[in-house]
Amino acid sequence: MPSPLSNLVLADFFASRTWSLTRGGLIAAGVVFWLAIGFWTLKDARRRITNPWLIALATLVGLVPPFFGALVYMLFRPPEYLEEVRERELEIKAIEERLGAGRSECPVCQAEVEPSFLVCPVCTTRLKDACPTCRAPLEPIWQMCPHCETPVTRRPAIDLIEALESTLQVPPVQRPRTRRRPARQPPAE
Ligand SMILES: [Zn+2]
Ligand SMILES: [Zn+2]
């Protein structure tokens, strides 16, 4: 319990010039802090918002009610800086360009074709072969389908073998023999 003496001392203190100066100082510090928070809100809003009216509104919210308004602003402000949004957009653009570089064109009509196309949809030129098992488009240099592990047999290779076989099947020496045999047999019987 405060004694009458301490009450008197307290009353003296609050009546004193020291207290009035202290109180003035505290109020001034509070006002400076309040304005600083308002300025911070303005700066922060400018980094996050493009619309000048919304920036003004955010600053107003940051100032009124004092101190508490800034907390409200922090709860509702956009989560990202405009810089970050711009950077991300640039990154996405770069990725798209990188992907676009992989896009090819038809060797015949120069129409833009996607990597998954088997034929050019414009001029019907065959661009790639499909895997015989899973029908996935195969790149010309692939030796095996990466999707189903089917070994790739190239059409030119088959054509070459067929060509070789056809030449081997009809050698000029064998042809007369096969023709002569049936010719000889009927008179023998
Ligand atoms: Zn084409
Ligand atoms: Zn396959």
Mean pLDDT by groups of 10 residues along the chain of 189 residues: 68 83 93 94 94 94 89 92 93 84 82 89 91 89 91 65 63 51 51
The ligand minimizing its distance to the Cα of 113 is 1
User: What pLDDT does 3 receive?
Assistant: 60
Give the position of tokens 């790639």. Answer: 128
**Cα 103 to ligand 2 centre (Å):** 22
Please name which ligand lies nearest the alpha carbon of 134.
Answer: 2
Report d(CA 47, CA 69) in Å as an integer: 18
| Element of type H or E holding 104 | strand 104-105
CA of 116 to the centre of ligand 2 (A): 13
What's the 106 CA to ligand 1 centre distance in angstroms? 5
Q: Where are the domains of the chain?
A: 8-82
Distance CA 113, CA 138 (A): 15
The pTM for the full model equals 0.47
pLDDT of residue 156: 54
- Rounded to the nearest 10 degrees, what angle do helices 17-48 and 52-63 cross at? 150
**Cβ atoms < 10 Å from Cβ of 69:** 20
**Distance from the alpha carbon of residue 109 to the mean position of ligand 1, in angstroms:** 4
